[in-house]
Chain A
């Protein structure tokens, strides 16, 4: 597996770039350091060899001069004056027979090699240079311990590597900062796209994108726009279908009611009333199915923040007019309550209307229906009546679920409200008994007032 294949283990481009660039620069720096070490070693060896040769060349006439006249003496060791310092160089002076006639105090008593090799040679731990004086036949061998050379080389390598070792973390930091800066537009675009979905199709801001990202940003913006158009068309179709369906039902209902008022025979009137009741049920069911269809078309989220209080005022007013006793509807608002949310006004109206209708139809006849707007984007709709069993309450949001009620509804209202609230990251909670009461039923809408939606599709 190559390095880039290995990087695939990391799902983040950010991590891949950091790791790849860090590894790359470290390997390159390591290679450069090795080459430098190799070169330094050779250059230092050459320098040391030159020094060895220079020492031999300078030392030979001096020691030869010192030895002449004392050829028969035993071999002597030259005393060194400062023995506290570490010594790397030593020497031996041999006569033409190979006998050592003079040596440095730290040089071995035996020759470095049996026969001195002219020029450079290496024996054991020594690097040697031998030079013979043609006039006297004396040969000097200057020796240098390889240990000394290695210490010099390793010191040079250490001097090279320490700064590098310190620079690697700084390099990682610099790479991290550079990559983060470069990735910022990518991450911004990624976040903006992640926020989009069928529930949030706000136009994508493509201004200020780098040249490399602009085609992607433009393509996504076009895609979002097309999706938005398609969804708008679907919503418009659902709304227009509602219009086309309501008019004939309205005509049939109105004609039936006229017929009832004109019929004299009680038997005929009774039959006509049954037709009227059936038409009203059909109308109510069609209305719920149209609402469900619109909810499933993704009607919930809006494209901008909307103050929903005026919508609630309008809906409550209309619901009150439809009641036989409008005073049944008790509407209160906390002074500082706000319902600013990114939600479609019609979706909100459908949700509230369903809950008020439920409360009016399923609560006690002529009992009060309370609509309260409270802080935290909460709307509570409360009616009286005996508490509902918890297992029944838990299933009320299911489609076609009907509680124990005298009212013959379609059982779709709460499912519609739940669908709409889910689309806007809001909540529908049901309580029975109602909060702070020992009886009744409470439906609570909690709006998402943070004005953001997750990327749900």
Chain B
């Protein structure tokens, strides 16, 4: 999943970017509204983390702009303003969630995962695929009743596939979810992670749609 972080505070932005990246998502960090607008114009983000007070304007203006243009990208507001009127304004303007600073990074993870699931059409964090039980909220997997550990990148690939179970997901879409904006992408990276997932979840857990992409499901 490609995530756009818009935050002007260097210390906080740095930590949030690293944390979201550690979850296996590709993160682009912009410190102004102008830079964010340019990034949105060139990349199809799947989640935006938006600060409200930015040096060149209000985050709410960008939020309204996006909704006016018909964008349905999930947006989580990160703000130090805790006024109810401000929250209501944010949610009424089309924000999906609202997180008041200071927050726990684990709470941020949970909110990000919840919004991603909601937009993936499957808000239930508990999934079962054959003998594989997956708890997306807690990032916990049991295969045949035994726990299995996945790396952050493996989780990112799995979550992208699980967003639409039984549907084909293009290889390029999985690549987009893996890497940060501008990072080098090795040509066989997706195959490598799919292969690792098959070893951990079972050979038939992920099927290849030849020449197009991959599909997860029974």
Q: Which residues of A contact B (CB under 8 A)?
A: 239, 242-244, 246-255, 257-258, 261, 279, 283, 310-311, 314-315, 318, 321-322, 345-346, 348-349
How close is A425's CB to chain B, nearest CB, in angstroms? 21
Q: Are B83 and A246 in contact (CB under 8 A)?
A: no
Beyond A254-B105, A258-B105, whether A345 also contacts B12 by CB under 8 A is no
Interface centre among A243, A283, A348 (most CB of B within 10 A): A243
A252 to B11, CA, bound (A): 7
Q: Which residues of A contact B103 (CB under 8 A)?
A: 250
Interface centre among A239, A250, A261 (most CB of B within 10 A): A250
Interface centre among B11, B82, B87, B111 (most CB of A within 10 A): B82
How close is B19's CB to chain A, nearest CB, in angstroms? 6
Q: Which residues of B contact A (CB under 8 A)?
A: 9-12, 14-16, 18-19, 22, 53, 80-85, 87-88, 98, 100-107, 110-111
Q: Which residues of A contact B98 (CB under 8 A)?
A: 318
Q: Are A254 and B16 in contact (CB under 8 A)?
A: yes
Would you list the 8 A-B pairs with minimal beta carbon distance, nearest first?
A251-B11, A254-B15, A250-B102, A250-B101, A251-B12, A246-B80, A345-B84, A243-B80
Beyond A283-B102, A346-B85, whether A251 also contacts B107 by CB under 8 A is no
Q: Which residues of A contact B84 (CB under 8 A)?
A: 311, 314-315, 345-346, 348-349
Q: Which residues of A contact B111 (CB under 8 A)?
A: 321
Q: Which residues of A contact B110 (CB under 8 A)?
A: 321
Beyond contacts A247-B80, A322-B107: 14 other A-B pairs, Cβ-Cβ < 8 A, are A246-B101, A246-B102, A247-B9, A249-B101, A249-B102, A250-B102, A251-B15, A253-B102, A254-B102, A314-B84, A315-B84, A321-B111, A345-B83, A346-B83
Residue of A nearest to B88 (CB): A314
A257 to B102, CA, bound (A): 12
How close is B90's CB to chain A, nearest CB, in angstroms? 11
Q: Which residues of A contact B9 (CB under 8 A)?
A: 247-248, 250-251
Q: Which residues of A contact B22 (CB under 8 A)?
A: 261
Residue of B nearest to A259 (CB): B15
How close is B107's CB to chain A, nearest CB, in angstroms? 7
Main secondary structure, interface of B, reads helix
Q: Which residues of A contact B102 (CB under 8 A)?
A: 246, 249-250, 253-254, 279, 283
Residue of B nearest to A254 (CB): B15
A331 to B32, CA, bound (A): 40
How close is B3's CB to chain A, nearest CB, in angstroms? 15
How close is A210's CB to chain B, nearest CB, in angstroms? 39
Q: Are B15 and A255 in contact (CB under 8 A)?
A: yes
Q: Which residues of B contact A239 (CB under 8 A)?
A: 81, 83
Residue of A nearest to B103 (CB): A250
Pick from B19, B83, B85, B107: contact of A258, CB below 8 A.
B19
Q: Are B82 and A242 in contact (CB under 8 A)?
A: yes
Beyond A247-B80, A247-B101, whether A254 also contacts B85 by CB under 8 A is no
Pick from B80, B81, B85, B106: contact of A250, CB below 8 A.
B80
| 26 interchain pairs, CB-CB under 8 A | A243-B81, A244-B80, A246-B102, A247-B80, A248-B9, A248-B11, A250-B12, A250-B80, A251-B12, A251-B15, A253-B104, A255-B12, A255-B14, A257-B19, A257-B104, A258-B15, A258-B18, A283-B102, A311-B84, A314-B84, A321-B111, A345-B83, A345-B84, A346-B83, A346-B85, A349-B84
A242 to B9, CA, bound (A): 16
Q: Which residues of A contact B53 (CB under 8 A)?
A: 243
Residue of B nearest to A284 (CB): B102
A251 to B104, CA, bound (A): 11
How close is A424's CB to chain B, nearest CB, in angstroms? 15
A377 to B85, CA, bound (A): 21
Residue of A nearest to B100 (CB): A246
A244 to B84, CA, bound (A): 18
How close is B49's CB to chain A, nearest CB, in angstroms? 12
A318 to B90, CA, bound (A): 15
Q: Which residues of B contact A244 (CB under 8 A)?
A: 80
Q: Which residues of B contact A252 (CB under 8 A)?
A: 11
How close is A261's CB to chain B, nearest CB, in angstroms? 7
Interface centre among A239, A249, A254, A322 (most CB of B within 10 A): A254
Q: Which residues of B contact A348 (CB under 8 A)?
A: 84
How close is B86's CB to chain A, nearest CB, in angstroms? 9
Q: Are A257 and B105 in contact (CB under 8 A)?
A: yes
Q: Which residues of A contact B15 (CB under 8 A)?
A: 251, 254-255, 257-258
Beyond A247-B80, A251-B9, A255-B11, whether A345 also contacts B85 by CB under 8 A is yes
Pick from B14, B16, B87: contact of A314, CB below 8 A.
B87
How close is A109's CB to chain B, nearest CB, in angstroms? 113
Q: Which residues of A contact B107 (CB under 8 A)?
A: 321-322
A59 to B186, CA, bound (A): 156
Q: Which residues of A contact B88 (CB under 8 A)?
A: 310, 314
How close is B211's CB to chain A, nearest CB, in angstroms? 39
How close is B74's CB to chain A, nearest CB, in angstroms? 16
A109 to B106, CA, bound (A): 135
Residue of B nearest to A310 (CB): B88
A243 to B8, CA, bound (A): 14
A248 to B102, CA, bound (A): 8
Q: Are A242 and B19 in contact (CB under 8 A)?
A: no
Q: Are B80 and A242 in contact (CB under 8 A)?
A: yes
A53 to B100, CA, bound (A): 114
Q: Which residues of B contact A243 (CB under 8 A)?
A: 53, 80-81
A319 to B110, CA, bound (A): 14
Interface centre among B16, B80, B81, B104 (most CB of A within 10 A): B80
Q: Are B12 and A247 in contact (CB under 8 A)?
A: yes
How close is B113's CB to chain A, nearest CB, in angstroms? 13
A346 to B110, CA, bound (A): 26
Q: Which residues of A contact B16 (CB under 8 A)?
A: 254
A252 to B9, CA, bound (A): 11
A310 to B91, CA, bound (A): 13
